[in-house]
Amino acid sequence: MNASQPRPLEGLTILDLTTALAGPYATLLLAGLGARVIKIENPSNPDTMRNNAPYLGRDGVTLQKRGVDDLSLSLLERGRNKLGVTLNLKSEEGRAMFIDLARHADAVVENFSAGTADRLGIGYAALSRVNPRLVYTSISGFGADELGGQNRAMDTIVQALSGLMMTSGLVGDAPVRVGVPIGDLCAPLYATIGTLAALLQAQRTGQGQHVDVSLLGALTSVVACEQSDVMERLGQSTRTGNTLTRLAPFGVFAAADGHVAICSPTDKFVAALFGAMGTPDLAKDLRFSSRDQRVKHADELHALVEAWTLTLPTAQVVETLGALGVPCGEVRTPGEAVRDARALRRGETTRLEHPQYGEADDVVVTGLPIRMSGAFTGFDRPAPHLGEHNASVYAELLGLSDEQLRALAARQVI
């Protein structure tokens, strides 16, 4: 895979009205797949993530801005492969220009609070009149139809409402927030899938549509994959901690110098695990000889496994079990995981690039974990400065001259 290969979404134009994390991550994925993504920001009140510490600049990574070229890591990560323009959508001229841009676009992605785009006059109903083929994707906290009451959401709120916080930890523990903003990251995955599906349908039918994805709906759907309430009724706790009783032996166990994950839900895996532990006869023990019995005696079984892992360093546990085909892996820190040579080689993570100062060896960020045999996927351009592509985008799509652009800038339209 190399940058000279064709890109899957080459030729598609996406207007990006998103801010913060959920929306920009969706458009980042589309950009990484080759779409021309035009990020639109207010010239005087741009995307809030521009002010997210830490920053990267001449002095490396800092918690506070030290120079005019210092850029937020959030912006540098989520703005890659995008074009950057400024436009004041609260002005009549700005709205008119945006509607003209929409005539040339294949899709719009926004994550305003529900109803905001319609109030601005740039919602799906307005834009579909000028471009019937347009796909219009909305990412919001609770859905585009939730216009009253509580309609603002952030990741922690969504984790709380989805039930996710009550799936980690142990019975009686306080709710446990997942460390990564999983609510903000699930919704854009579904939004990207929905956008691509709607674009395919528009190619067949000539008709676009509104794609509506909510943060809460996306995460609740993920939580529902496990049928936790059914398991509770059957005597299995929703909160499983570091081990999963119904698949025992299955979980995270302490080793002599760290922790290791071991997953042996089948008779074959269990027999191999007992052999590695030096206790092969446990496979014939009535407490552990069948899956149902292992579930019934899960606490005893997990204690036996950990008594063994505690005597060995993690590397030896992984090497021993790996040689026998037992699924296992050491518990890594995030820093160790993202710098894994395999992840970097496959483009699943990548080193961050500053537009002036180049690649930062000490900053590793998300890549595009989709590899294709006949296409390039990933990021090969740094994030743009605010309004960096005003001249090229507005000249190409709207036919505006430099003189007209200077006049628009003077009126604070761009």
Can you give the three-state secondary structure of 133-156, one letter per residue?
Answer: CCEEEEEECCCCCCCCCCCCCCHH
Confidence of residue 3 (pLDDT cuts 50, 70, 90): confident
> Helix, strand, or coil here: 364?
strand
The residue-averaged pLDDT of 160-176 equals 94
- Tell me whether residue 361 is in a domain: no
Domain boundary among 301, 330, 359: 330
Q: Report percent pLDDT > 90 for the chain.
A: 91
Confidence of residue 150 (pLDDT cuts 50, 70, 90): low
The single residue listed with the structure tokens 């960096």 is 388
Backbone angles phi, psi at 168, to 5 degrees: -105, 170
List the CATH number of the domain containing 180: 3.40.50.10540
CA gap 135, 388 in Å, rounded: 26
Query: Is 184 among the catalytic positions?
Result: yes
Question: Do 47 and 129 fall within a single domain?
Answer: yes
- Tell me whether residue 37 is in a domain: yes
Tell me the whole-structure pTM to 2 decimals.
Answer: 0.95
Domain around 208: 13-222+369-410
> Helix, strand, or coil here: 109?
strand
CA gap 195, 136 in Å, rounded: 8
Backbone angles phi, psi at 400, to 5 degrees: -85, 140
- Tell me whether residue 243 is in a domain: no
CA angle 343, 348, 353 (to 5 degrees): 105
Question: Do 299 and 399 fall within a single domain?
Answer: no
> Residue 84 gets which letter from DSSP?
E
Question: Do 61 and 181 fall within a single domain?
Answer: yes
Q: At what angle do helices 182-205 and 22-32 cross, to 10 degrees?
A: 50
Confidence of residue 238 (pLDDT cuts 50, 70, 90): confident
CA gap 155, 209 in Å, rounded: 27
Q: Active-site residue among 70, 106, 155, 184? A: 184
Question: Do 266 and 119 fall within a single domain?
Answer: no
- What is the CA 180 to chain-centroid distance, rounded? 10
The total of structural domains in the chain comes to 2
> Residue 112 gets which letter from DSSP?
P
**Dmax over Cα atoms in the chain, in whole Å?**
85
**Pick from 270, 322, 268: nearest CA to 297:** 270
CA gap 191, 50 in Å, rounded: 23
- Tell me whether residue 80 is in a domain: yes
Backbone angles phi, psi at 362, to 5 degrees: -100, 10
Least confidently predicted of 25-29, 147-151, 236-240, 360-364 = 147-151
CA gap 30, 254 in Å, rounded: 41
Burial class for 143, CB neighbours closer than 10 Å (0-12, 13-18, 19+): middle
Question: Do 88 and 185 fall within a single domain?
Answer: yes
Could you give the C-alpha distances from 104 to 9, 191, 287, in angstroms and in order? 16, 21, 67
Q: Report percent pLDDT > 70 for the chain.
A: 99
